[in-house]
Amino acid sequence: MRNLNILLLFFLVILLSGFHIESKSTTGDRVLVLLDKEADKILYKKFFATLEKENKLSYKLPTDSSLDLFEFGERKYDHVINFAPKTKKYVDKVNPLSLIKFMNSGGNIILATTSKTSENIRDFVREFDIEIDDKDTFVIDHFNYDISDEGKHTLVIIDNNKGNSDDSITNNPAILSKKVIEGSPILFRGIGHKVGSSPLLAKILWGRNTSYSYEVRGEDQKSIVDQEPFISGNNIGLVTALQARNNARITLVGSLDFFSDRFFDSPVHNVITSEKFPKSGNEDFAIDLVKWTFQKKGVIKVTSRQHHKEGETEQLETYRIKDNITYTIEISEYANDQWQAFNGTDVQFEAIMLDPYIRKTLTPLPVTSSPDSESRKFITNIQLPDVYGVFTFRVNYKRPGYTYIDDKSVVAIRPFRHNEYPRFISAAYPYYTVTASMIVAFLTFSTVWIFNEDSSIKNKMKKTN
Amino acid sequence: MKVLGLDTQNLSALLKVVILGLIAAVALASRLFSIIRFESVIHEFDPWFNYRTTRFLVANGFYEFWNWFDERSWYPLGRVVGGTVYPGLMVTSATIYNILRTLNFTVDIRNICVLLAPLFSAFTSVAAYLLTSEIKDSSAGLLAAAFIGVAPGYISRSVAGSYDNEGIAIFLLLFTFYLWIKALKEGSAYWGALTALFYFYMVAAWGGYVFIINLIPLHAFTLILMGRFSSRLYVAYSSFYILGTLMSMQIPFVGFQPTRTSEHMAALGIFGLIQIIAFVEFARSYISSNQAQILFKSFVVLSFVGMLSGLVLLTLGGYIAPWTGRFYSLWDTGYAKKFIPIIASVSEHQPTAWPSFFFDLEMLIFLFPAGIYLCFKELRDDHVFLILYGITASYFAGVMVRLMLALTPVVCVTSAIAISRLFDIYLKLDDTDKDNTSAKNNKPAIEKSNTSAKSNKSAIEKSSRKGDASRSTSSSTSKSSEKKKKSEQFRILGFDTRILVITNFFFFLVIFTWHCTWVTSNAYSSPSIVLASRQADGSQYIIDDFREAYYWLRKNTDYSSKVMSWWDYGYQIAGMADRAVLVDNNTWNNTHIATVGKAMSSSEDVAYQIMRRHDVDYVLIIFGGLLGYSGDDINKFLWMIRIAEGVYPNEVREVNFFTPRGEYRVDDEATPTMRNSIMYKMSYYNYNELFGGQGQDRVRGARIPADKIKLDTLEEAYTTENWIVRIYKVKNLDNIGRSLEQAGAFELGKKKRKRVKRAN
């Protein structure tokens, strides 16, 4: 009896712990943290503490020769946090080439830069079509700086989203939660970058209209703006993300201080507008950024897909032209640490043979009664085109912030079989009549011919015989 | 005189059967070189499609075959195989297969396919025997059978493994002609219907049936013009045309063509004409005035003119399809090159070079005119047919290499007539001692002609009035029989003269067989998917790169992969590698082929777009530079460019591939367009590295430019032992959104260009 109790308890514990798994990433929880110096760890204590709740962090210097992102060809880490922008020379195992290989095999990266960012990092981000501004430049805003700024106006305040044209923060719910978008302003001190035109890039935080990026000299020197800044205003990228085609994510944050405990805890006091907030929005923002980058949110997937003739259930590989078919796809989204029904309404279906012949928005069905339903069905009824060939049924759903869905199923659409045409055509009735009357006439004629004795023939036969 | 208890008549019949059987055996056996040399394997290109469809037919039954929509060729368009194929060949082998199965002979379908053409060539020799015996006599028939059995012109398309439509079609062609001659002679609807039946089989088997449906009306028309219209012609032609046309329309690929296209209009027109003439003849027998005669004649001429102009009007109105390009290219050999490069690009559609006439027919080509001359001397209805066949076929054979095949039978038949005539004269051993066999052989023939002449006369007498034409006919036949008698009187008596001529011809015949065997074994027995060469020590060295590559595709790529290659290899890839292809040897969609041509002749960027759009996973090319295999893609490249230019004249230009001096080069002087085309890049990718310097192209005798060829959108997946087949994999889009060129440069350690620093 006691044994049984222990056993039950044991199961209960397992069950509970199963339920209790916290915000687990859909890809993994092994994180490599690269730091310029061991001592830097203390600066970002709070940030790392939040991470350590859910992940296994290993701290390394990029000069550590034992460092390797791969082991036996497999990824050793699921995510990399690169807080070492100043180190000039990385070991080969974490050079830009390896980091891109790491992403190509599905790893995610958070990269923070400062005004002292090394050429190494610049080369790396250039591959993503991002150009970091020159060394020693800062993002400067004379109209939105915090009271604790040291006189150069480089500690800028990025306001929360007010729905203005002047917004400098994305309102994409897939990346940032409502709390962050509408929460306290964000403190930023660091370098800006120029965001290229690659369609895979998504801007998350960018400079305000009044900001510009320029070189800041030492205390004593006055910096005169005598040249067109490389980037200014809305064109300054502060936080930019790229989601690769294999859904691996990289987030570039222009400020390393952004993650520091000092910024996390600092109150915000805008000198010009004298707006005050007890605590900056940096911590919440950072958490969301990590969540998104580590694939804990904004992740959607296809759980099942089916197509069949209307009124049937069997999925066929070959349909006939002009068949009516039903196409269903189930999509679930990873949110709040579990898979749940995806709420999008703009999922489209395409039937493609070189060009799309049909493009139709799928109707989302209400989630079935059971609350633990993990996905939502999207459904449509279509009539296949009157063209035979090999068609690709494709759902190509690519929205910023969400992982990509590109679901393809290839079916052949064949022409009518020989016995699928109408047997009798009304237009052809005259011909049927002609044929029938011809048959009758032929038979009659032959009968008459055979049974009618012709004397002349008889005579002839006699002659020849 | 009795031998083995048989009298001479039976004995000669027995001998004929034995000889014919031996000829058939020789015909079959001499086609087996390829199996002995290589193995029992399907040859070349088209046979692979036929083989694949036959397997499908055997596995899935006739109705599935009939409705087969093949989604694995012409990706993504697909091909309606049932409606675009001449099913005769497949159905024939499937029938043989099923019969053998029911008899519990579990033969592999492949072996049936491999041996089908030799089997039917044995039948062909029998058909040639029947046809020639009908026209001359059985000894000429035996000669014709022997000739057709070994003539290289026919063997070239019917060796074991050459599983193509022509393999059975030549038998059907000859047999249909035999039945037509028979029907015309007998004037019987029964034989006419049989002609129609075999015509139907021919329609089911080969597109060359158009030759029959034009030649027979031409024969009928010529006979009418010669004033030889008779009720026999009427019965034979009408029964053949009506039944044949109705039956031919049952083949889905033919469908309504017999009523819709110009190719079939001659037959229809003659059918109408013959009805009118028959009616006029009938009416003439009741009315006798001279004015009425003129009226009738003008009625016939007018209706003929009326029908012709009606045909022209209907063609202009679009109700009747005009002649297809393939037919125009028969009249104007330059036509295809100008307007339809896809037809001109096929080597077998090129005009024939004169040596190949001798190569394929040897001495028969010299005897052919002699045979035609002998036909003119007698000029019975069947001789007219033979003359017409000879003239048209020799014209077509001169225009297209491939139609040598249609010429070969008539050459064999006419030369057999010529030689047998020669032997008739020179081999009569003893005219004083009348040799029984020869007398008996000749007598029935003479009697027959006499009786036929008689019956002709009586028929003519019966119809009270007769035209001058028919009178002249009867006189000509009687004249010819007189001539025959005369010529029989001319006997060569001198023993030495005979010996001289006969030894000579015996020598010729031996040389002929020698030549045929040599040609068969050396030129026509290579399967072309396996190449053979000699090593220094004389031993055979097999080059098996094609199958190596196809097997690699089959085993190492995903089943749903799509392979892009030039259309020549489509059937083989589908058959051997079992992978979906973009284009194949059934060149039904010129645009699709031109798209592939454009991809091959464009730069990487353009080609990559096309390949992505068509979901291409692998690109397969043939490269002969290392081995000196001249049938490779670089040599075919100009055709790809031409075909692509026909559809995309603004994007592909042939001029850009020629040097300023108008040369087609691959070495240092090659034009930039040439060097940037992916075909060039794929062919010579890593080629210099093989030589450790500048590569040497052994086909074009050129040195390849020394600079390294860079491929960004494709990566080499496989290259066969002798580099004949090279397979490239199409890369995916770059994962982080760069262009593949940039990604490639990055992999090589090249950094992106930095922006210019701000001057301080």
Contact yes or no for A198 and B757 at CB 8 A:
no
Give the type of residue at A252: L
Q: B9-18: which pairs have CB atoms within 8 A and are 24 or more residues apart?
A: B9/B440, B12/B437, B12/B440, B12/B441, B16/B138, B16/B142
Contact yes or no for A392 and B76 at CB 8 A:
yes
Give the type of residue at A333: E
Q: What is the number of other CB atoms lying within 10 angstroms of the CB of residue B156?
A: 24
Nearest CA to B224 out of B287, B169, B278, B305 is that of B278
Give the type of residue at A192: G
- What tokens were used for B374? 């002998």
- What tokens were used for B657? 């591939």
Contact yes or no for A388 and B67 at CB 8 A:
no
Contact yes or no for B736 and A201 at CB 8 A:
no
For B758, the closest of A97, A100, A227 (CB atoms) is A227
* Region for residue B538 given its phi and psi (left: phi exceeds 0; alpha: psi -120 to 50; beta: otherwise): left
> How is A335-365 classified by DSSP, letter by letter?
ETTEEEE---S--EEEEEESEEEEEEEPEEP
- The pLDDT tens digits of the residues spanning A206-222 come to 988 888 888 887 665 56
- The pLDDT tens digits of the residues spanning B122-159 come to 999 999 999 999 998 888 999 999 999 999 989 988 88
Q: Please give the order of strands across the beta sheet that includes A389-397.
A: A318-320, A405-414, A389-397, A348-353, A355-361
Q: Count how many Cα atoms sit within 13 Å of the Cα of residue A294 in the half-sphere of its side chain.
A: 25
For B758, the closest of A104, A134, A199 (CB atoms) is A134
d(CA B117, CA B64): 25
Contact yes or no for A246 and B735 at CB 8 A:
yes
Give the type of residue at A338: Q
What average pLDDT does range B641-652 have in this prediction? Answer: 90
For A354, the closest of B76, B78, B742 (CB atoms) is B76
**What value does the CA radius of gyration of chain B take, rounded to a whole number of Å?**
31
In B463-535, which ranges are continuous DSSP H helix? 468-489, 495-522
- Determine the pLDDT at residue A378: 92
Angle at B244 (CA atoms; ends B242, B248), nearest 5 degrees: 120
Nearest CA to B235 out of B195, B178, B284, B207 is that of B195
Residue pair A80/A108 in contact by the 8 Å Cβ criterion: yes
Chain B interface includes A128 (CB < 8 A): yes
Residue of A nearest to B742 (CA): A127
B76: chain A residues, CB-CB within 8 Å: 353-354, 389-392
Residue of A nearest to B616 (CA): A354
- Determine the pLDDT at residue A164: 65
- Determine the pLDDT at residue B10: 85
For A390, the closest of B67, B76, B752 (CB atoms) is B76
For A412, the closest of B63, B78, B760 (CB atoms) is B78
Backbone angles phi and psi of B158, in degrees to 5: -140, 25
* Region for residue A391 given its phi and psi (left: phi exceeds 0; alpha: psi -120 to 50; beta: otherwise): beta
- Determine the pLDDT at residue B131: 93
- The pLDDT tens digits of the residues spanning A388-414 come to 999 999 999 999 889 999 999 999 999
- The pLDDT tens digits of the residues spanning B50-93 come to 999 999 999 999 999 999 998 888 988 989 888 889 999 999 99
Chain B interface includes A392 (CB < 8 A): yes
d(CA B389, CA B345): 28
Q: Tell the residue number behind the tokens 């397992």, with chain if given.
A: A14
Q: What is the ipTM of this complex?
A: 0.84
d(CA B456, CA B473): 10
Residue pair B724/B545 in contact by the 8 Å Cβ criterion: yes
**What value does the CA radius of gyration of chain A take, rounded to a whole number of Å?**
35
Helix H or strand E segment including B679 = helix B678-684
B736: chain A residues, CB-CB within 8 Å: 100, 103-104, 127-128, 200, 242, 244-245, 250
Beta strands B562-564; B618-622: pairing state: parallel
Q: Is the pLDDT of residue A250 over 80?
A: yes
Greatest mean pLDDT among A183-197, B531-545, B742-756: A183-197
d(CA A408, CA B76): 14
- Determine the pLDDT at residue A459: 61
- Determine the pLDDT at residue A370: 62
Residue of B nearest to A123 (CA): B751
Contact yes or no for B752 and A126 at CB 8 A:
yes
- Determine the pLDDT at residue B446: 43
- What tokens were used for A402? 């969400």
Q: What class has domain A22-293?
A: alpha beta
What average pLDDT does range B690-710 have in this prediction? Answer: 85
Q: Which three-class secondary structure state does DSSP give residue B540?
A: strand
d(CA A82, CA A71): 19
- Determine the pLDDT at residue B483: 47
Backbone angles phi and psi of B342, in degrees to 5: -65, -30
What average pLDDT does range B639-668 have in this prediction? Answer: 88
For B736, the closest of A103, A353, A392 (CB atoms) is A103
d(CA B38, CA B34): 6
Domain that holds residue B668: 545-759
DSSP for residue B264: G
Domain ranges of chain A: 22-293, 299-414, 426-464
Q: What is the number of other CB atoms lying within 10 angstroms of the CB of residue B487?
A: 13
A242: chain B residues, CB-CB within 8 Å: 736-737
Residue B472: pLDDT band with limits 50, 70, 90: very low
Q: Give the total number of structural domains in chain B.
A: 1
- The pLDDT tens digits of the residues spanning B286-298 come to 877 777 778 878 8
- Determine the pLDDT at residue A441: 96
Chain B interface test: which of A118, A126, A198, A391 (most B C-beta within 10 Å): A126
B contact set with A (CB within 8 A) = 63, 66-67, 69, 71, 75-78, 80, 82, 560, 613-615, 732-738, 742, 746-747, 749, 751-752, 754-755, 757-760
Say how far residue A88 (Cα) sits from the centre of its chain.
32
A232: chain B residues, CB-CB within 8 Å: none
B754: chain A residues, CB-CB within 8 Å: 122, 126
Partners of A326 in beta bridges: A308, A381
Q: Give the minimum alpha-carbon distance from A99 to chain B in angstroms, rounded to a whole number.
A: 12
Residue of A nearest to B748 (CA): A97
In A28-186, which ranges are continuous DSSP H helix? 45-52, 96-104, 119-126, 178-181
- The pLDDT tens digits of the residues spanning A178-208 come to 888 888 888 999 999 999 888 899 999 998 8
- Determine the pLDDT at residue B238: 94
Chain B interface includes A97 (CB < 8 A): yes
What average pLDDT does range B432-445 have in this prediction? Answer: 43
Q: Is the pLDDT of residue B622 over 80?
A: yes
What average pLDDT does range B470-489 have in this prediction? Answer: 46
Q: Is the pLDDT of residue B247 over 70?
A: yes
Task: Judge whether B93 lies within some domain.
Answer: no
More confident position, A25 or B278: B278
Task: Judge whether B692 lies within some domain.
Answer: yes
3-state secondary structure B194-227: HHHHHHHHHHHHCCCHHHHHHHHHHHHHHHHHCC
More confident position, B490 or A86: A86
As a whole number, the mean pLDDT across chain B is 84
d(CA B393, CA B211): 9
Q: Is A11 exposed, middle or buried (0-12, 13-18, 19+ CB in 10 A)?
A: exposed
Residue pair B360/B398 in contact by the 8 Å Cβ criterion: no
Nearest CA to B619 out of B721, B725, B733 is that of B725
d(CA B549, CA B724): 9
A97: chain B residues, CB-CB within 8 Å: 746-747, 749
Handedness of CA B272, B273, B276, B282 (dihedral sign): negative
Partners of A108 in beta bridges: A79
Q: Give the minimum alpha-carbon distance from B326 to chain A in angstroms, rounded to a whole number.
A: 27
- Determine the pLDDT at residue B452: 45
> How is B276-315 classified by DSSP, letter by letter?
HHHHHHHHHTT---HHHHHHHHHHHHHHHHHHHHHHHHHH
Contact yes or no for A390 and B613 at CB 8 A:
no
Chain B interface includes A406 (CB < 8 A): no
Residue of A nearest to B760 (CA): A227
- Determine the pLDDT at residue A220: 57
Task: Judge whether B302 lies within some domain.
Answer: no
Q: Which residues 132-151 on chain A approach chain B with CB closer than 8 angstroms?
A: 134
- Determine the pLDDT at residue B696: 86
Chain A interface test: which of B69, B79, B454 (most A C-beta within 10 Å): B69
- Determine the pLDDT at residue B118: 93
Residue pair B162/B47 in contact by the 8 Å Cβ criterion: yes
Task: Judge whether B722 lies within some domain.
Answer: yes
Task: Judge whether B36 lies within some domain.
Answer: no
Helix H or strand E segment including B11 = helix B8-29
Contact yes or no for A127 and B746 at CB 8 A:
yes
d(CA B641, CA B26): 46
- Determine the pLDDT at residue A219: 61
d(CA B318, CA B260): 10
For A390, the closest of B75, B734, B754 (CB atoms) is B75
CATH number at residue B559: 3.40.50.12610
Level-2 CATH architecture, domain A299-414: Sandwich (2.60)
| Residue A306 neighbours by CB under 8 Å, 6+ apart | A315, A327, A328, A329
What average pLDDT does range A349-362 have in this prediction? Answer: 92
d(CA B551, CA B571): 14
d(CA A298, CA A335): 7
